[in-house]
Amino acid sequence: MKPSFLNDQGQSILKAALFAAVINGAINGVIQLFLLRAHTPLMLTVDGITNDAHTVFGTAVTLAAVLAMILTVVGHVTLKGPKRRFWPHGLLLTLWHGLLAFGAVVSAAVLWQRFAGSVEVSLLTASAMIGLIAALVAGVITYRTNMASRLQPVPAQ
């Protein structure tokens, strides 16, 4: 049963976004498992603006912003059917998605540090959390890109 607020096109876009979320979450989680293995155990956040420590949210901020911009460009370029031009719409959407992902993850990190403090986690937990953040970013950005880049049909008068 599909949600009542989605038409057939919206349903297929939602399926594509969920598929992108699962794939990106798994791939990025495994990549981080190998990249962060020399830095165990890891802190989720640390209390300070400047530090030399590798943290889960510090890694996730960069990953989220870059992943959002890459997925927006790829999603716009590979979109089939009538779509808006890349200049200026696609470029502005790319910048907007990068800032959105950056701000969301930084806000989550600041709130985590404020209310939970510095927490140490294992490598497996860290890579799972980064994979979850990548999955969220991929799903939301894929959905938003597909919805925003399509040309809306002109209603008949």
Identify the residue whose tokens are 């949210």.
57
| Residue 129 near residue 28 (C-beta atoms within 8 A) | no
Distance CA 110, CA 79 (A): 35
| Average pLDDT of the chain, as a whole number | 92
pLDDT (tens digit per residue) in 14-23? 999 999 999 9
Residue pLDDT, tens place only, 84-133: 999 999 999 999 999 999 999 999 999 999 999 999 999 999 999 999 99
Whole-Å CA distances, 62 to 96, 115, 118, 137, 150: 15, 23, 20, 12, 28
Q: What is the per-residue pLDDT across 39-63, written as a single tens digit (0 to 9) for each?
A: 888 999 998 877 788 899 999 999 9
Does 139 have pLDDT greater than 90? yes
pLDDT at 7 (0 to 100): 80
**Sign, CA torsion 132/52/68/113:** positive
**pLDDT at 14 (0 to 100):** 93
